[in-house]
Amino acid sequence: MSNPAQPAHSFVGRWIASWSVPAAAQIALSMWFATGVEFGSPMLLFWVVVIAASLCLVTSAAVIMRSFDRNEADLGFLGLFFCAVSALPLVHGITTPGVIVGDNTSTMTSV
């Protein structure tokens, strides 16, 4: 059984440990791919981001609807947060230059 009065530094240590490996992998891969080689295409970016963000929006809508069924405001706020976090990547994917629209600043603005 966990102790509710655990010191905050134990949580911080676990949080840092859980994020250090993905952060190190991302830094290593970005240094490896930073040679000027283009990885992927605008069409690939469009489909991957639009499909992933759309699935996240559908899931967040399901969480919001579930909060209405259960009459729980905290669950509704969680769904609204996920909805907001998913909307900007969807804009980023839809406004990818060269797929639907030409060069624009909407892609970088949504990032």
In the chain, where are the structural domains located? 8-36, 40-110
User: What is the pTM (predicted TM-score) of this model?
Assistant: 0.58
Q: What is the structure's pLDDT at 25? A: 78
Query: Residues 6 or more apart from 70 whose CB is under 8 A from it?
Result: none
DSSP 97: B
How many angstroms separate the CA atoms of 63 and 55, rounded?
12
Query: Residues 6 or more apart from 56 whose CB is under 8 A from it?
Result: 82, 85, 86, 89
pLDDT tens sequence across 29-44 = 777 665 555 557 788 8
How many angstroms separate the CA atoms of 45 and 94, rounded?
10
The mean pLDDT of 101-108, rounded to a whole number, is 73
